[in-house]
């Protein structure tokens, strides 16, 4: 930790006026097409600890602050960690956070909080799609923009401090473009913006953006016919296009005077969103063709055999729901929300799990190639926007709950000064923005709720926080979620809630009344001391009364603190509620 802080202090002192004048400027024209072939990757060492000395870095690079690359997977659940070689590699070489969570298990809500270091009530982004309440959108990019979040995003701070900033892949729901219409506005704080639009959910035939001479432009990525060779089809696969964009950015800026920040956001392993697949026979989770079962092989699930993945890899699969009914504050039963019959048989969930594992392999290759491509003065962070359930807890296929399946995500970090080992600190994705700002030598604004993880990089035993909060608004208020065509109303039935998670327990407070002027509280409590999933609602059980009471106190603190919005500073007392 001391080494990292000294590096950052030295970097700030060494930054030159020439590097700082790059603030806010765009990169040069992008002339190569998105499917230009990438050169062979050089072999570079993944730094286990310590990192490069300043004297060892290229002489031409005058600003010695570190580069930062974050890879944000889409709907990646913990059951898939075993299938990712990159995660095994990063765990051996750096920090792994065993208690990493997201503020909400919804793509747009979670990603907005990652950008801003703020909770959904601060960003105003509460759902995946816009809808409307009090003449303002509830979610999607319209809410992100309407509440001023683009200007508060951490990438604006980094670019203003001299970083070249790039984004590649899936951005935010409803940041879309239709041919013949005007492009959406380019958000501030990005030097290069390669947004891959939402038609890429289906794997092929989509559009993306790039920046040329300071202007946002588009290019189309056509899909080869099914008769084309596997290599040709996989070259046009969304994961392959995103990887090429990422590698091009890193190579273009590796020797720049200024450091760079790059976010890479694959669509894997998110399901396709259209009922009809692009290629006949495509599964709901479409992998690259090279990873699918074919003559003589059973599919590529990384270091595990696809056939070994079963419902045993889905803790809580098929559990009866009758003992999960929420309870009122007095302990009596409230209205049950998880009552729909599960339409999927075990065979369907297993097939989905295996296809998700195969789909994740394209992202796994991307991460491993990035690790080989970056230099020793680069931090690489790997995580996900949320988890996903496939039949656990009596649910079907989807996300949105406060259960471990949906909010627990992987988080791995490698880079200079990162000591290998597992961290016990509870973290939230609102912590990532402040972490990037500290690495860049930038003071985080007072409106960020997150806390930098940099002090834990050099000290695996450091534990400052033992609680995280989860905040969810019912997607049913807006409908039209992109997953609804294939997953039905799985997401719509989940009520609004606030939850607090400790190392050993989860307390969820649902609002069963959809009126904005009334509340009907109901609770679920689960202990993780004997199992890692939510078997029985123990809210009213006397033996858990002490832990329930302590978590109820945390929710009361949350209520008093969940008032600051937008760019209003977070009161100092509210920064201690996660302890």
Q: Helices (H) and strands (E) in the chain — how many of each?
A: 16, 18
For residue 508, pLDDT over 90 is answered with yes
Tens digits of residue pLDDT in 440-475 = 999 999 999 999 999 999 999 999 999 999 999 998
User: Any idea where the domains of the chain sit in the sequence?
Assistant: 2-35+68-290+302-332+345-576
Q: How far apart are CA 242 and CA 248, in angstroms?
A: 10
Tens digits of residue pLDDT in 392-434 = 999 999 999 999 999 999 999 999 999 999 999 999 999 999 9
* pLDDT value at residue 134: 64
* pLDDT value at residue 486: 78
* pLDDT value at residue 516: 67
The count of residues in the chain is: 579
In Å, how far from its chain's centre is CA 28? 29
CATH of 2-35+68-290+302-332+345-576, one of 1.20.1250.20, 1.10.1740.10, 3.40.720.10, 3.30.559.10: 3.40.720.10
Least confident of 78-87, 171-180, 405-414: 171-180
Tens digits of residue pLDDT in 532-563 = 999 999 999 999 999 999 999 999 999 999 99
* pLDDT value at residue 44: 28
Contacts of 333 (CB under 8 A, 6+ apart): 325, 326, 327
Query: Vertex 24, ends 21 and 30: CA angle to 5°?
Result: 105
Looking only at the bridges linking them, the beta strands covering 389-390 and 397-398 are antiparallel
* pLDDT value at residue 52: 35
For residue 238, pLDDT over 80 is answered with yes
Q: How far apart are CA 304 and CA 295, in angstroms?
A: 19
For residue 47, pLDDT over 50 is answered with no
Contact by Cβ (8 Å): 474, 434: no
For residue 22, pLDDT over 70 is answered with no
3-state secondary structure of 432: helix
* pLDDT value at residue 517: 73
For residue 127, pLDDT over 70 is answered with yes
Backbone angles phi, psi at 110, to 5 degrees: -65, -45
Identify which has the larger pLDDT, 139 or 39: 139
Which of 100, 103, 105, 131 has its CA nearest to residue 118?
A: 103
Question: What interhelical angle do 238-253 and 346-373 show, nearest 10?
Answer: 20
Q: What confidence category does residue 484 fall into, taking pLDDT thresholds of 50, 70 and 90?
A: confident
Average pLDDT of the chain, as a whole number: 88
Classify the C-alpha dihedral 182-183-184-189 as positive or negative: negative
| Residue keyed to tokens 């006949």 | 280
DSSP 287-312: --GGGS-BTTB---BTTB-GGG--GG
For residue 55, pLDDT over 60 is answered with no
* pLDDT value at residue 492: 85
Q: What confidence category does residue 61 fall into, taking pLDDT thresholds of 50, 70 and 90?
A: low
Q: What confidence category does residue 295 fall into, taking pLDDT thresholds of 50, 70 and 90?
A: confident
Q: How far apart are CA 350 and CA 364, in angstroms?
A: 21
Q: What confidence category does residue 39 fall into, taking pLDDT thresholds of 50, 70 and 90?
A: very low
Which of 252, 137, 243 has its CA nearest to residue 196?
A: 243
3-state secondary structure of 77: coil
Q: How far apart are CA 226 and CA 279, in angstroms?
A: 7
3-state secondary structure of 54: helix
Q: What confidence category does residue 133 fall into, taking pLDDT thresholds of 50, 70 and 90?
A: low
Tens digits of residue pLDDT in 250-290 = 999 999 999 999 999 999 999 999 988 999 999 999 999 99
Tokens found for residue 559 = 């209520």
Tens digits of residue pLDDT in 349-361 = 999 999 999 999 9
In Å, how far from its chain's centre is CA 124? 18
Contact by Cβ (8 Å): 145, 105: no
Q: Which helix (H) or strand (E) holds 256?
A: none
């Amino acid at each position: 930790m001391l080494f990292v802080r000294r590096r950052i202090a030295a970097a700030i002192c060494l930054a030159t006026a020439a590097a700082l004048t790059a603030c806010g400027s765009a990169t040069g024209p992008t002339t190569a097409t998105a499917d230009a072939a990438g050169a062979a990757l050089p072999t570079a060492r993944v730094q286990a600890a310590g990192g490069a000395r300043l004297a060892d870095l290229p002489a031409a690079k005058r600003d010695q602050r570190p580069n930062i690359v974050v890879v944000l997977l889409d709907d990646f659940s913990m059951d898939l960690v075993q299938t990712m070689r990159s995660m095994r590699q990063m765990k051996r070489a750096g920090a792994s956070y065993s208690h990493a969570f997201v503020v909400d298990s919804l793509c747009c809500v979670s990603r907005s909080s990652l950008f801003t270091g703020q909770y959904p009530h601060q960003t105003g982004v509460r759902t995946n799609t816009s809808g409307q309440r009090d003449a303002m959108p509830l979610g999607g990019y319209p809410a992100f923009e309407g509440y001023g979040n683009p200007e508060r995003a951490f990438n604006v701070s980094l670019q203003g401090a001299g970083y070249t900033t790039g984004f590649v892949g899936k951005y935010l729901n409803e940041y879309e473009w239709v041919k013949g219409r005007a492009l959406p506005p380019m958000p501030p704080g990005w030097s290069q913006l390669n947004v891959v639009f939402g038609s890429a959910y289906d794997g092929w035939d989509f559009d993306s953006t790039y920046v040329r001479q300071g202007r946002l432009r588009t290019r189309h990525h056509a899909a080869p016919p099914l008769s084309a060779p596997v290599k040709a089809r996989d070259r046009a696969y969304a994961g392959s296009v995103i990887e090429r964009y990422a590698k091009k950015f890193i190579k273009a800026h590796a020797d720049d005077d200024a450091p760079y920040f790059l976010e890479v956001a694959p669509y894997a392993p998110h399901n396709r969103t259209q009922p009809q697949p692009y290629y006949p026979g495509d599964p709901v989770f479409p992998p690259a063709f090279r990873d699918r079962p074919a003559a003589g092989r059973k599919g590529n699930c990384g270091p595990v055999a696809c056939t070994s993945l079963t419902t045993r890899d889905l803790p809580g699969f098929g559990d009866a729901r009758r003992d999960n009914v929420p309870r009122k504050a007095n302990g009596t039963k409230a209205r049950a929300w998880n009552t729909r019959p599960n339409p999927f048989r075990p065979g369907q969930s297993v097939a989905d799990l295996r296809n998700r594992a195969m789909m994740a392999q394209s992202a796994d290759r991307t991460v491993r190639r990035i690790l080989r491509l970056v230099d020793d003065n680069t931090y690489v962070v790997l995580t996900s926007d949320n988890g996903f359930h496939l039949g656990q807890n009596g649910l079907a296929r989807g996300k949105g709950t406060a259960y471990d399946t949906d909010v627990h995500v992987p988080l791995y970090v490698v880079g200079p000064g990162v000591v290998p080992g597992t961290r016990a600190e509870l973290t939230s994705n609102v912590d990532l923005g402040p972490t990037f700002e500290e690495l860049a030598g930038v003071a985080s604004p007072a409106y960020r709720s997150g806390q930098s993880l940099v002090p834990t990089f050099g000290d695996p035993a450091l534990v400052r926080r033992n609680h995280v909060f989860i905040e969810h608004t019912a997607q049913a208020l807006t409908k039209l979620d992109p997953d609804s065509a294939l997953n039905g109303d799985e997401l719509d039935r989940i009520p609004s809630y606030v939850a607090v998670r400790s190392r050993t327990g989860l307390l969820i407070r649902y609002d069963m009344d959809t009126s904005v002027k009334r509340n009907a509280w109901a609770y679920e409590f689960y202990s993780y001391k004997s199992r890692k999933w939510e078997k029985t609602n123990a809210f009213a059980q006397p033996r858990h009364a002490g832990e329930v009471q302590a978590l109820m106190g945390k929710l009361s603190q949350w209520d008093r603190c969940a008032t600051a919005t937008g760019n209003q500073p977070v009161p100092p007392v509210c920064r201690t509620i996660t302890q």
